[in-house]
Structure 1
Amino acid sequence: MSAPDPVVNPQKGRSGFTRVFHATLISLNGLRAGWGEPAFRQEAIAAIVLVPFAFWLGRSWVETALLAGSVLLVMIVELLNTAVEAAIDRIGPEWHDLSKRAKDMGSAAVLLALVLSGGIWLTALWQRFVT
């Protein structure tokens, strides 16, 4: 197997700490790009409030991890949905049934992540204040 062509993708030619450093910079660029999307921005602002609140609401480390993790999961799925939409839009602006399916499924994934997170939070709130 031949080595990856560094001209095509310079990241593939890196190793060790240099690769980790550059991968971190690329990830931060992705977060900056996500911040440009209103839905991600709203979810990030909600996370700034909800993740610290999870440490108060959770009665054990497992509950805290579920509460905080569910919020971060929504953000992860939103970033992946935005990536799918950007890739589809890069292909072309014309309408195509497969493009619509891909975008609809990405949106459905975000919806399911929101429902999961909402269910976890409502259950934790119920446990804390009603029982």
Structure 2
Amino acid sequence: MSLHPDASRAKPDRVTGIAHIFAATGYSIGGIRRLWQETAFRHIVLGLPVCTGVLALAGARVPDYCVLVILFFGLVATEALNTAIECIVDHLAPHWAEFARDAKDLGSLATMCMLAANGVFVGHVVWRAISA
């Protein structure tokens, strides 16, 4: 008897060449669908137009918007990795385990650092506007 619920399923064949690009796009869309189930991700998505509006009110320049988008994608990537860690940990440790707590705490810390980086940047743009 297998411990994994999908153990009876065969591993899919490896996709190569140009088909890999289409397959990878499909995998990424699947990742976005999965990530959308996370409340934190939905908050992040709502934060982008809010921060864009704050930058607009502060008279931000084009490079400011570029940095905001880069930081936003960094935050999304970090949240995606944090969610992946949580999925794996929940599978490996359905009950409490120290390694599970540590892994989840570290993933949360990474997300918090990216949230802080976004906040510091938006704060900098606003500060620049009010001190000009």
TM class by shorter-chain length? 0.7 to 0.9
Number of aligned pairs? 122
Higher relative contact order (Cα pairs below 8 Å, separated by 6+ residues): 2
Instruction: Determine the structure 2 residue equivalent to 1:59.
Output: 61
Distance 1:109 1:9 in 2: 32
Identity %: 27
Q: Output aligned runs, 1:28-107, within 5 Å.
A: 28-51=29-52, 57-61=59-63, 63-107=64-108
Query: How well do the aligned residues superpose, as a CA RMSD in angstroms?
Result: 2.1
Q: Output aligned runs, 1:2-17, within 5 Å.
A: 8-10=11-13, 12=14, 14-17=15-18
Structure 1 residue 117: deviation in Å?
A: 0.8
Q: Judging changes above 3 Å, is the alpha-carbon distance between structure 1 residues 32 and 19 closer, same or farther for their aligned structure 2 residues?
A: same
Distance 1:51 1:71 in 2: 11
Instruction: Determine the structure 1 residue equivalent to 2:123.
Output: 122
Output the amino acid matched with 1:59.
R
Does the 8 Å contact 2:55/2:126 carry over to 1?
no
What SS does the aligned partner of 1:15 have? coil
Unaligned runs of 5+ in 1: 1-6
After TM superposition, the score normalised by the length of structure 2 is 0.81
Output the amino acid matched with 1:67.
L
Structure 1 residue 58: deviation in Å?
A: 3.4
